[in-house]
């Protein structure tokens, strides 16, 4: 009898521990399902597709407006996005320079209607 009661008590302890783990894991799993659903709303897909198309547009603009292996310096107008995007998109095409004096071209990302979804590449020869 005592053995049986001890066994029942032990199973109850195990059930509490299992319940705590199930709740913690279950809440996190639920969070993941919500995250995925949020990523797949029509609005989210549309905006992300537009952002990706903009990247592709700028990538092609660099390759069409800047000569291959050109020494370029990337500038950023005040209140504009930082220069990293153009640096990344210039990789394998242009040779990035850390200072303007060593470059032959400057690249700048500017706001412009109708180009790459509201942004355009501005290229100047130094």
Which residues of this chain interact with other proteins, rule CB under 8 A?
3-4, 7-8, 10-11, 13-18, 20-22, 24-26, 28-29, 31-33, 35-36, 39-40, 44-45, 48-49, 51-52, 55-56, 59, 74, 84-85, 87-88, 91-92, 96-98
> Which one, 63 or 113, has the nearer CB to other proteins?
63
What are the b/e assignments for 11-23, b being 16+ CB within 10 Å? eeeeeeeeeeeee
Closer to other proteins by Cβ: residue 45 or 80: 45
Residue 104 has φ and ψ, to the nearest 5°, of -110, -15
> Nearest CA to 118 among 71, 57, 67?
57
């Amino acid at each position: 009898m005592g053995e049986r009661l001890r066994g029942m008590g032990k199973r109850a302890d195990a059930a509490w521990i299992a319940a705590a783990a199930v709740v913690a894991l279950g809440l996190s799993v639920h969070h993941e399902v919500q995250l995925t659903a949020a990523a797949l709303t029509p609005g989210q897909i549309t905006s992300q597709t537009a952002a990706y198309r903009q990247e592709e547009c700028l990538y092609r603009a660099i390759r069409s407006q800047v000569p291959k292996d050109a020494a370029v310096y990337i500038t950023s107008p005040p209140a504009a996005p930082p220069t990293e995007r153009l640096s990344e998109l210039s990789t394998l095409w242009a040779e990035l320079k850390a200072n303007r004096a060593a470059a032959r071209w400057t690249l700048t990302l500017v706001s412009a209607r109708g180009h790459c979804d509201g942004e355009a590449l501005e290229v100047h020869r130094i």
